[in-house]
Amino acid sequence: MVKIQKLPSGQLVITIPKVLAEYEGLEKGAEIEFKKHKDGFILRIVEGGNK
C-alpha cells in the first residue's frame, strides 16, 4: 500500500512498500519523477537518485 502524508510544512511525503524499495534498490532520500498517465501516474526513478 502506498501512503501519502502531509507534513506541518505542507510538504507531501509518499511511502512505498519496503519490499518494492528493496527490489528497486531504493534508499531513503531517493528521487523519483511523476508522469501523468490516463489511468493515474507513472513513477520513474531518477538516475542516480539514491543518496
Q: Would you say residue 23 lies in a domain?
A: yes
Q: Would you say residue 3 lies in a domain?
A: no
CB 25 within 8 A of CB 18: no
Q: Would you say residue 6 lies in a domain?
A: no
Residue 34's pLDDT is what?
87
Q: Would you say residue 10 lies in a domain?
A: no
Q: Would you say residue 33 lies in a domain?
A: yes
Residue 49's pLDDT is what?
53
Residue 28's pLDDT is what?
86
Instruction: Summarize pLDDT for 6-44 with one digit per residue, the tens.
Output: 999 999 988 889 998 899 888 888 888 989 999 998 988
State the Cα–Cα distance between residues 18 and 39, nearest whole angstrom.
24
Residue 46 has pLDDT above 80, yes or no: yes
Provide the pairing of β-strand 12-15 with 32-37. unpaired
Number of domains in the chain: 1
Q: If pLDDT is split at 50, 70 and 90, which confidence band does 48 have?
A: low
Residue 4's pLDDT is what?
92
Q: Would you say residue 11 lies in a domain?
A: no
